């Protein structure tokens, strides 16, 4: 039945936290009240990428976006938008950033603002749990095209021509991986989707699957056909229950309709997909560790070669790609490699999804063509830094990426430029850092993560990052020594060049890049025992200024009795006793206590 | 024929075979790239990163143990940067390792120590927190000290790949990574078979045998005991290596003399009780053949194999020979026959076994092997321990004048000697069983079809028209493969010999550590040890167990008939299924 309106409610993690469920109930109630159930359909979508404005509601066909909607707003929206067909101005979001109306129909290539959605093309448009919805946006057409008229080698060469590179982080040319796997002679081959998204704060893959599971499934079937595999495995972390559920539903629906299983679309080609849950180890995103994990072993990487394409899962040739990579495949097949390769830079084609986070106005998911500059993302899409703070650095590539300073803001985002600047593309984490953050502390934070998540197999990563972390810790505690920076560099460079897998090879990046771009902060920590951002509390000095009225609040708050002073007279902090807890600073009602870095 | 490629090592061109790793190629060309986790018998781990080299065109260093050579490859093995990186890697290992070299069991024979010296580690740059774990002293045989572990993974690999026991695995992540049995439960309650191969391959002292040398030194001073030692065949084949002698030099009479100097009153030979084992086992086998008993009969001499069998193959218990091991037979005789003979109370006999084996410590502690309430063997020391004791007591082992074993339990046949090498028990049994069955001596006394280091060996024997099929496996991994065949096709073999360690007892978990120029479990070394035993066999006039006059006298004076009442009580035992906690190896339980 055709309906006049589709109301899409965002069910992404952020909106869910803001109680999007209650919204759904309110909408249902209101529709029932006006007897609109046959005119309006309710749609639950994955993350729409506008987390800041959540909960988000979209009403189609005009694609009106409403933000920060509460259940109390619903009657007004229905009244105005549905009954009077007049979008409600009060709650509608001006579409000036992050998320413009993107092409609603597959293949209609348009730039909306600075964003361009390929991976996320259907997210927010279709009901992810409805196969019909996916079909309505030309879903499984790519599969039909491949099975009805393309030889496996043609598919491989199409992917190769597209210039698509692995979106998991390393940026290995996808087509070459496919070609290598296809060339292997083996009785059995596998196709794996790496959905073990582990970077803290990153949720690109999760949102892709939650918003459009079929595109990943379709991509994998095409991959299986191209390389001659009959079995696909999606390795996804168990912390993503909604994504897992949608995949399960998607797989079941695709099977029921003959897109998956025996003799797909009558072509004689058979392919099946199985879901494997990961326990959430960061290192299992590394392909050989992931393979070990699927095999039932501890997730630990092994040296390559042999590459998985030659000897992978259960020692069989295995094609392993990341969620985002798979999601690009149907687009490449339908719109052609030539079109795809027209997007992006010379060596990096297509778009990339980033999880924009940190000190930035518009946090959320951003998909931009390769070649977009960091500045465009931060200021045009991201809306700049909140509270008029100064931009200090941008950290790209997740915990193993680097921190780039202001001078790199014009760097175009692609694999090679980011690497040249001293960072990495990674899987797409992007954290903006403002002047209130200490770069030593930031480096320590990321290294702590990689050290904890190191699989413990190779010496440089296991022992080396620990020693680096110890040095960083003493720096932030004001116990840095001359020579510490040199030690960090020596260890960092050795770990980068000697480690077994990508985790270790990139773990020192946050440290090395902050030393390179913010060396003076390190020096201040060591020589002046000073943290200019005031973030390293051990080095803070609290002082009473003449704003003090002698109220005595700080004196009572101080747990170590370091503050003295008669009532109504200016108080004083005994620096020898002070433990830098900051209670006086926070409790003073007159801003009379200042914190020096 | 493999393709030949040109590679350049430090700018010098070389023609090498393709398909090998950089390390393999370099080894043959005289470049010994430093290494640590690598072991030629185990899978490539690539973990320690000590063997890194520079390859032109590669952004990072590559682990030479894992990376294959390719045409035109330009390799550098010791540039300044590379040497610094290697040095730093070894320092990182050392920084998280106890600084107790001087009081460590492996002082002077530690791979890490040697490596640190070679890398030029003369001071520290990066010291910090060290790991701090409890030692696991629970096992009767193997002590696990995680503090000394450098996570090279050799123990994990030998346990899973060679032995297929999977007692060890990694737990936790990052700096907290540690090798442990499942659920960190005590070793004694794990699936560990106590074979001690982890000790053999460990580059440091993270695994060592449970040491009884102090207790033994004390008891040797105690005038209240009659101190009796027995020596396993393989001890004499390897003990010289602990004193810097080339592998393969048999030190039989020297060991006897040294033990006497150490304070033993009597030195007997486990080879005699090996002859006894053959008398019982060969007869048991023929009984089974004649009376349609359960076949194939499987040998029971190897203690690690026995624990393995109870855990993983309880369905085969009926197939296992009921004979005790030669060590326990000797122990039983010491506390009965011998005590009577010298008119001493059995408890006044200090029964000491010098073994090539760590699992024998576990066997000695088995309650079912006690004799009249007393342990048959009071103390088991390994080849390594006794060698250390000789050194500690100042005995000049290399130059000592050899002496003979004592009577009445010191004379053995060549069949008893070859018990120490894979295939030897079977060969010894064949020599005797053939003659008992056919009434004629076996002419081809050296049964070559079951000799050698091949994992599984098969042989056939014609007993007056009856074909007897035998099979031999050494190392628990090979045993696993052979026993799965037995499970599937029980009629395929009549007699099966299993030894728990690679090479048999000569490769036991208690044998001397590999010297500075060899790797543990080196096949050449095992071959030489085996040859030492075969050499001793060849030198003997008596090469069949049943011809050993002392064994004959023993039956006449004390034991009666093989499989009779006294042997049944003293020389035979029974086994029970065990269900260890933790993860049971998948390969082992698959039916």
Tokens of B440: 């004629």
Q: Is residue B95 less than 8 Å (CB to CB) from chain A?
A: yes
* Burial bucket for residue B367 (CB in 10 Å: 0-12, 13-18, 19+): exposed
More confident residue, A122 or A452: A452
Question: pLDDT grade, residue B14 (50/70/90)?
Answer: very high
Res B516: pLDDT:
61
Instruction: Tell me the residues of chain A between 236 and 295 that have a Cβ less than 8 Å away from chain B.
Output: 281, 283
Instruction: Give the one of B50, B63, B174 whose C-beta lies nearest to A453's C-beta.
Output: B174
| Mean local confidence (pLDDT), A8-27 | 82
pLDDT at B587 over 60: no
Res A178: pLDDT:
97
Catalytic residue among B284, B310, B385, B497: B284
* pLDDT > 90: percent of chain B: 92
pLDDT at A99 over 80: no
| Mean local confidence (pLDDT), A287-294 | 96
Catalytic residue among B91, B209, B363, B385: B363
Instruction: Give the one of A453, A454, A463 whose C-beta lies nearest to B93's C-beta.
Output: A463
Strands (E), A173-271: 190-195, 231-237
Residue ranges per domain, chain B?
4-78, 104-208, 213-570
Instruction: Give the one of A467, A494, A500 whose C-beta lies nearest to B85's C-beta.
Output: A494
Distance in angstroms (rounded) separating the CA atoms of residues A442 and A403: 9
Judge: B125–A487 Cβ closer than 8 Å, yes or no: yes
Enumerate the β-bridge partners of residue A59. A7, A64
Mean pLDDT of chain A: 89
DSSP B165: -
> Which chain A residue is nearest to residue B95, measuring alpha carbons?
A463
Judge: A455–B177 Cβ closer than 8 Å, yes or no: yes
Contacts 24+ apart (CB under 8 A), A552-561: A553/A587, A553/A588, A553/A589, A554/A583, A554/A584, A554/A587, A554/A588, A554/A593, A557/A583, A557/A584, A557/A587, A558/A583, A558/A584, A559/A583
Q: Which chain A residues are closer than 8 Å to B61 by Cβ?
A: 497-498
Res B295: pLDDT:
92
Query: What domains are defined for chain A?
Result: 5-83 (3.40.30.10), 131-340 (3.40.50.11540), 351-434 (3.10.20.600), 439-528 (1.20.1440.230), 540-596 (3.30.70.20)
| Mean local confidence (pLDDT), B429-443 | 92
Catalytic residue status for B287: no
Least Cα separation, residue B559 to chain A (angstroms): 53
Q: Is residue B176 less than 8 Å (CB to CB) from chain A?
A: yes
Judge: B129–A457 Cβ closer than 8 Å, yes or no: no
pLDDT at A404 over 50: yes
Q: Which of A298, A493, A494 is best to mutate for the B interface (most B CBs within 10 A)?
A: A494
Distance in angstroms (rounded) separating the CA atoms of residues A165 and A147: 24
Q: Which chain A residues are closer than 8 Å to B174 by Cβ?
A: 451-454, 456, 462, 465-466
Q: Which chain A residues are closer than 8 Å to B60 by Cβ?
A: 496-499, 505
Q: Which chain A residues are closer than 8 Å to B173 by Cβ?
A: 281, 283, 452-456
Catalytic residue among B48, B152, B505, B525: B505
Q: Is residue B92 less than 8 Å (CB to CB) from chain A?
A: yes
Q: Which of B341, B319, B338, B334 is nearest to B370 (CA)?
A: B334
Enumerate the β-bridge partners of residue A417. none
Res A85: pLDDT:
80
Least Cα separation, residue A466 to chain B (angstroms): 7
Q: Which chain B residues are closer than 8 Å to A463 by Cβ?
A: 92-93, 95-96, 175
Q: What are A267-286's pLDDT values in tens digits?
A: 999 999 999 999 989 999 99
Q: Is residue A499 less than 8 Å (CB to CB) from chain B?
A: yes
Task: Name the CATH topology of B213-570.
Answer: Rossmann fold (3.40.50)
**B104-208: CATH number:** 3.30.70.20
Helix (H, G, I), strand (E, B) or coil at A456: coil
Q: Is residue A455 less than 8 Å (CB to CB) from chain B?
A: yes
Q: Is residue B117 less than 8 Å (CB to CB) from chain A?
A: no
Q: Which chain B residues are closer than 8 Å to A505 by Cβ?
A: 60
Res A49: pLDDT:
66
Least Cα separation, residue B478 to chain A (angstroms): 21
pLDDT at A365 over 90: no
Res B474: pLDDT:
97
| Mean local confidence (pLDDT), B516-527 | 80
Catalytic residue status for B505: yes
Judge: A494–B96 Cβ closer than 8 Å, yes or no: no
CA dihedral of A573, A578, A582, A586, whole degrees rounded to 10: -30
* Burial bucket for residue A407 (CB in 10 Å: 0-12, 13-18, 19+): exposed
pTM comes to 0.88
Catalytic residue among B91, B111, B281, B310: B281
Which CATH class name applies to B4-78? Answer: alpha beta
Distance in angstroms (rounded) separating the CA atoms of residues A506 and A492: 9
**Picking from A374-383, A483-492, B370-379, which range would have the lowest pLDDT averaged per residue?**
A374-383
Q: Is residue B47 less than 8 Å (CB to CB) from chain A?
A: yes
Tokens of B506: 């000569």
Q: Which of A498, A499, A500, A503 is best to mutate for the B interface (most B CBs within 10 A)?
A: A498
Q: Which of B313, B574, B274, B530 is nearest to B411 (CA)?
A: B274
Least Cα separation, residue A112 to chain B (angstroms): 39
Q: Which of A447, A449, A462 is best to mutate for the B interface (most B CBs within 10 A)?
A: A462
| Mean local confidence (pLDDT), B434-461 | 92
Q: Is residue A457 less than 8 Å (CB to CB) from chain B?
A: yes
More confident residue, B569 or A534: B569
The β-bridge relationship of strands A57-60 and A64-66 is: antiparallel
Tokens of A434: 């403002």
Q: Which of A69, A46, A73, A42 is nearest to A57 (CA)?
A: A69
Res B364: pLDDT:
96
Q: Which chain B residues are closer than 8 Å to A303 by Cβ?
A: 44, 46, 63, 66-67
Q: Which chain B residues are closer than 8 Å to A490 by Cβ?
A: 84, 88, 125
Q: Which chain B residues are closer than 8 Å to A470 by Cβ?
A: 128-129
pLDDT at B261 over 80: yes
Catalytic residue status for B363: yes
| Mean local confidence (pLDDT), B114-139 | 94
Judge: A467–B95 Cβ closer than 8 Å, yes or no: yes
| Mean local confidence (pLDDT), B447-470 | 92
Question: pLDDT grade, residue B582 (50/70/90)?
Answer: low
| Mean local confidence (pLDDT), A15-29 | 84
Judge: B89–A460 Cβ closer than 8 Å, yes or no: yes
Q: What are B45-86's pLDDT values in tens digits?
A: 999 999 999 999 999 999 999 999 999 999 999 999 999 999
Mean pLDDT of chain B: 94
Q: What are A121-149's pLDDT values in tens digits?
A: 888 778 999 999 898 888 999 999 999 99
Least Cα separation, residue B49 to chain A (angstroms): 6
Distance in angstroms (rounded) separating the CA atoms of residues A86 and B469: 93
Res B583: pLDDT:
54
Distance in angstroms (rounded) separating the CA atoms of residues A542 and B561: 95
Strands (E), B157-271: 169-171, 178-180, 207-209, 226-231, 266-269
Catalytic residue status for B51: no
Judge: A457–B88 Cβ closer than 8 Å, yes or no: no
Distance in angstroms (rounded) separating the CA atoms of residues B576 and B569: 18
Question: pLDDT grade, residue A18 (50/70/90)?
Answer: confident
Judge: A303–B67 Cβ closer than 8 Å, yes or no: yes
Size of interface A-B (CB pairs under 8 A): 110
Q: What are B372-413's pLDDT values in tens digits?
A: 999 999 999 999 999 999 999 999 999 999 999 999 999 999
Judge: B46–A458 Cβ closer than 8 Å, yes or no: yes
pLDDT at B589 over 60: no
Instruction: Give the one of A281, A452, A456 whose C-beta lies nearest to B151's C-beta.
Output: A456
Judge: B84–A494 Cβ closer than 8 Å, yes or no: yes
pLDDT at A1 over 50: no
Q: What are B294-317's pLDDT values in tens digits?
A: 999 999 999 999 999 999 999 999
């Amino acid at each position: 039945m055709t309906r006049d309106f589709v109301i899409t409610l965002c069910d992404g993690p952020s909106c869910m936290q803001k109680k999007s469920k209650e919204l759904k109930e309110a909408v249902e109630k209101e529709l029932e009240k006006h007897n609109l159930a046959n005119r309006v359909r309710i749609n639950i979508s994955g993350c729409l990428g506008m987390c800041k404005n959540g909960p988000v509601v979209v009403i189609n066909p005009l694609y009106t976006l409403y933000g920060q909607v509460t259940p109390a707003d619903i009657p007004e929206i229905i009244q105005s938008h549905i009954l009077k067909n007049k979008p409600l101005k009060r709650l509608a979001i001006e579409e000036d950033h992050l998320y413009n109306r993107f092409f609603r129909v597959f293949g209609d290539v348009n730039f909306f603002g600075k964003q361009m959605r390929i991976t996320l093309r259907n997210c927010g448009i279709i009901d992810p749990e409805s196969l019909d919805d996916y079909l309505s946006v030309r879903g499984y057409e790519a599969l039909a095209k491949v099975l009805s008229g393309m030889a496996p080698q043609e598919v491989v060469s199409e992917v190769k021509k597209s210039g698509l590179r692995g979106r998991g982080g390393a940026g290995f040319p996808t087509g070459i991986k496919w070609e290598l796997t296809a060339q292997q002679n083996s009785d059995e081959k596998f196709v794996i989707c790496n959905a073990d998204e582990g970077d803290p704060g990153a949720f690109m893959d999760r949102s892709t699957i939650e918003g459009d599971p079929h595109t990943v499934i379709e991509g994998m079937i095409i991959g299986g056909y191209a390389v001659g595999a009959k079995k696909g495995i999606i390795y996804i972390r168990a912390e993503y229950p909604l994504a897992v559920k949608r995949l399960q539903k998607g797989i079941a629906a695709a099977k029921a309709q003959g897109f998956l299983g025996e003799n797909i679309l009558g072509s004689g080609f058979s392919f099946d997909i199985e879901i494997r849950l990961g326990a959430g180890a960061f290192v299992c995103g590394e392909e050989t560790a992931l393979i070990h994990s699927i095999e039932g072993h501890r997730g630990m990487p092994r040296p390559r070669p042999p590459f998985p394409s030659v000897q992978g899962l259960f020692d069989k040739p295995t094609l392993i790609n990341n969620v985002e990579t798979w999601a690009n495949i149907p687009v490449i097949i339908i719109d052609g490699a030539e079109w795809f390769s027209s997007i992006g830079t010379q060596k990096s084609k297509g778009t990339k999804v980033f999880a924009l986070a940190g000190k930035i106005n518009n946090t959320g998911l951003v998909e931009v063509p390769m070649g977009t500059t960091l500045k465009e993302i931060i200021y045009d899409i991201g809306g700049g830094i909140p509270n008029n703070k100064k931009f200090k650095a941008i950290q790209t590539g997740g915990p193993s990426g680097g921190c780039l300073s202001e001078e790199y803001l014009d760097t175009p985002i692609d694999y090679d430029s980011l690497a040249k600047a001293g960072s990495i593309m990674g899987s797409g984490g992007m954290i903006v850092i403002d002047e209130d953050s200490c770069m030593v502390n930031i480096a320590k934070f990321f290294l702590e993560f990689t050290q904890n998540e190191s699989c413990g197999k190779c010496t440089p990563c296991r022992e080396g990052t620990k020693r680096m972390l110890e040095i960083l810790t003493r720096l932030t505690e004001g116990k840095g020594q001359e020579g510490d920076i040199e030690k960090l560099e020596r260890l960092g460079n050795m770990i980068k060049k000697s480690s077994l897998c990508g985790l270790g090879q990139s773990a020192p990046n946050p440290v090395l890049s902050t030393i390179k771009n913010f060396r003076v902060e390190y020096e201040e920590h060591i020589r002046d025992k000073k943290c200019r951002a005031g973030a390293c509390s051990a080095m803070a000095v609290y002082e009473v200024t003449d704003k003090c009225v002698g109220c005595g609040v700080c004196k009572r708050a101080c747990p170590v009795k370091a503050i003295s002073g008669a009532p109504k007279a200016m108080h004083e902090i005994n620096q020898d006793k002070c433990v830098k807890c900051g209670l006086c600073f926070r409790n003073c009602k007159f801003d009379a206590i200042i914190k020096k870095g | 024929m493999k393709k030949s490629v040109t590679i350049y090592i430090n700018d010098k061109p070389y023609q090498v075979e393709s398909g090998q790793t950089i390390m393999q190629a370099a080894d043959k060309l005289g470049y010994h790239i430093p290494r640590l986790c690598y072991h030629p018998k185990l899978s490539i781990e690539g973990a320690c990163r000590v063997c890194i080299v520079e390859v032109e065109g590669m952004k990072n260093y590559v682990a030479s143990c894992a990376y294959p050579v390719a045409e035109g490859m330009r390799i550098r093995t010791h540039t300044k940067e590379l040497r610094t990186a290697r040095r730093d890697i070894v320092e990182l290992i050392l920084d998280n390792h106890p600084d107790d070299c001087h009081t460590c069991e492996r002082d002077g024979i530690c791979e890490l120590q040697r490596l640190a010296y070679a890398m030029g580690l003369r001071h520290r740059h990066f010291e910090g927190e060290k790991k701090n774990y409890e030692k696991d002293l629970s096992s009767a045989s193997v002590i696990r000290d995680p503090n000394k572990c450098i996570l090279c993974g050799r123990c994990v690999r030998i346990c899973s790949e060679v032995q297929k026991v999977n007692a060890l695995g990694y737990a936790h992540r990052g700096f907290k990574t540690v090798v442990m049995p499942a659920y960190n439960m005590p070793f004694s309650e794990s699936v560990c078979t106590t074979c001690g191969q982890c000790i053999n391959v460990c580059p440091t002292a993270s695994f060592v045998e449970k040491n009884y040398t102090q207790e033994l030194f004390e008891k040797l001073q105690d005038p209240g005991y009659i101190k009796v030692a027995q020596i396993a065949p393989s001890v004499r084949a390897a003990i010289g290596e602990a004193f810097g002698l080339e592998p393969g030099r048999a030190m039989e009479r020297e060991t006897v003399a040294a033990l006497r100097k150490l304070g033993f009153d009597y030195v007997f030979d486990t080879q005699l009780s090996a002859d006894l084992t053959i008398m019982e086992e060969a007869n048991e086998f023929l009984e089974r053949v004649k009376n349609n008993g359960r076949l194939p009969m499987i040998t029971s001499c190897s203690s690690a194999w026995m624990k393995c069998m109870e855990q993983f193959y309880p369905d085969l218990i009926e197939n296992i020979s009921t004979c005790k091991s030669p060590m326990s037979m000797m122990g039983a005789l010491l506390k009965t026959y011998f005590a009577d003979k010298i008119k001493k109370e059995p408890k006044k006999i200090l029964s000491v076994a010098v073994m090539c084996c760590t699992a024998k410590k576990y066997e000695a502690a088995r309650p079912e092997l006690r004799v009249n309430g007393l342990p048959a063997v009071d103390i088991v020391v390994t080849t390594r321990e006794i060698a250390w004791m000789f050194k500690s007591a100042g005995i000049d082992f290399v130059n000592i004048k050899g002496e003979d074993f004592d009577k009445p339990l010191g004379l053995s046949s060549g069949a008893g000697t070859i018990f120490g090498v894979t295939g030897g028990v079977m060969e010894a049994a064949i020599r005797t069983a053939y003659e008992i069955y056919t009434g004629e001596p076996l002419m081809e006394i050296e049964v070559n079809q079951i000799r050698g280091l091949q994992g599984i060996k098969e042989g056939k024997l014609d007993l007056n028209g009856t074909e007897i099929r035998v099979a031999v496996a050494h190392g628990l991994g090979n045993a696993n493969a052979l026993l799965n065949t037995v499970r599937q096709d029980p009629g395929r073999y009549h007699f099966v010999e299993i030894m728990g360690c690679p090479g048999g007892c000569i490769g036991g978990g208690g044998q001397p550590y590999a010297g500075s120029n060899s790797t543990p479990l080196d096949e050449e070394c095992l071959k030489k040890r085996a040859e030492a035993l075969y050499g001793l066999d060849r030198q003997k006039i008596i090469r069949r167990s049943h011809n050993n006059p002392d064994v004959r006298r023993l039956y006449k004076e004390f034991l009666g008939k093989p499989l009779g009442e006294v042997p049944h009580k003293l020389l035979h035992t029974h086994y029970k299924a065990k269900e260890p906690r933790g993860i049971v190896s998948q390969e082992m339980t698959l039916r």
